[in-house]
């Protein structure tokens, strides 16, 4: 936990660099919490604290991929995903090749959160370096109290929009 918090702090510091080009995402708080029934299990609740933690992980994911920081990028994904690669550099190379809009992000902001069954999904809006607009959705998994990792990413071009 301590190492991850340090990594988030480092990512936040990286975002603040004037040369990064990535905008500070706006906070989204339309509902104080989201919840869904998880079968016979206890109800899944995404609190404001969880939203903050999710957004910190997603922000670190976008910035560390954009800045090719394998050490930070790998920490945004689940242990299972990390274990599928020989090194954080291999993981970064794979995701960079398959997530070109994130790699070329110029600006990013959060646009909301939803639940896909029991999976919280963080939504974002990204504009790449060529001015093309993208909707991005990150499926999230809780790994501890207010600790989250990304399990899936879906990137869709916004039809007809470019800046």
Global pTM value: 0.75
First to last CA, the chain: 39
The pair of structure tokens assigned to 49 is: 């604290």
Q: pLDDT above 90 covers what percent of the chain?
A: 66
User: Residue 26 carries which DSSP code?
Assistant: P
Give the CA distances from residue 61 to residues 34, 42, 108, 150, in Å, rounded to whole numbers and listed in that order: 23, 29, 11, 9
Tell me which H or E stretch contains 128. Answer: strand 119-128
Give the CA distances from residue 105 to residues 19, 72, 161, in Å, rounded to whole numbers and listed in that order: 13, 17, 15
Check residue 20 and give its pLDDT.
41
Q: How does residue 35 score in pLDDT terms, banded at 50, 70 and 90?
A: low
What are the structural domains, with CATH classification, of the chain?
2-11+43-162 (3.10.450.50)
Say which residues have a Cβ less than 8 Å from residue 17's Cβ, sequence separation at least 6: none
Give the CA distances from residue 152 to residues 23, 28, 59, 63, 141, in Å, rounded to whole numbers and listed in that order: 23, 20, 15, 17, 9
Check residue 162 and give its pLDDT.
59
Which residue in 157, 98, 96 sits closest to 126, CA to CA? 157
Residue 34 in this model has a pLDDT that exceeds 80 = no
Mean pLDDT of the chain: 80
d(C-alpha 86, C-alpha 114), whole Å: 33
Q: How does residue 106 score in pLDDT terms, banded at 50, 70 and 90?
A: very high
- As a dihedral over the C-alpha atoms of residue 44, residue 155, residue 19, residue 5, rounded to 10 degrees, the angle is 20
Check residue 1 and give its pLDDT.
40
Check residue 43 and give its pLDDT.
58
CB 107 within 8 A of CB 127: yes
pLDDT in tens, 133-163: 999 999 999 999 889 999 999 999 998 765 5
Residue 39 in this model has a pLDDT that exceeds 80 = no
pLDDT in tens, 40-78: 454 568 899 999 999 999 999 999 999 999 999 999 999
Look at 38 and 85; give whichever has higher pLDDT. 85
d(C-alpha 82, C-alpha 25), whole Å: 26
Check residue 83 and give its pLDDT.
96
């Amino acid at each position: 936990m301590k190492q991850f918090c340090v990594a988030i702090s480092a990512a936040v510091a990286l975002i603040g660099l004037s040369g990064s080009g990535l905008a500070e995402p706006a906070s989204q708080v339309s509902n104080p919490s989201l919840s869904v029934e998880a079968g016979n299990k206890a109800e899944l609740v995404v609190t404001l604290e969880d939203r903050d933690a999710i957004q910190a992980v997603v922000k670190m994911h976008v910035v560390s991929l954009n800045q090719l920081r394998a050490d930070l990028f790998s920490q945004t994904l689940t242990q299972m995903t990390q274990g599928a690669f020989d090194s954080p550099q291999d993981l970064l190379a794979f995701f960079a090749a398959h997530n070109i809009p994130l790699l070329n992000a110029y600006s990013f902001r959060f646009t909301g959160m939803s639940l896909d069954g029991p999976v919280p999904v963080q939504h974002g809006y990204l504009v790449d370096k060529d001015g093309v607009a993208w909707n991005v959705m990150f499926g999230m998994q809780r790994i501890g109290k207010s600790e989250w990792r990304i399990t899936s990413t879906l990137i869709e071009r916004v039809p007809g929009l470019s800046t």
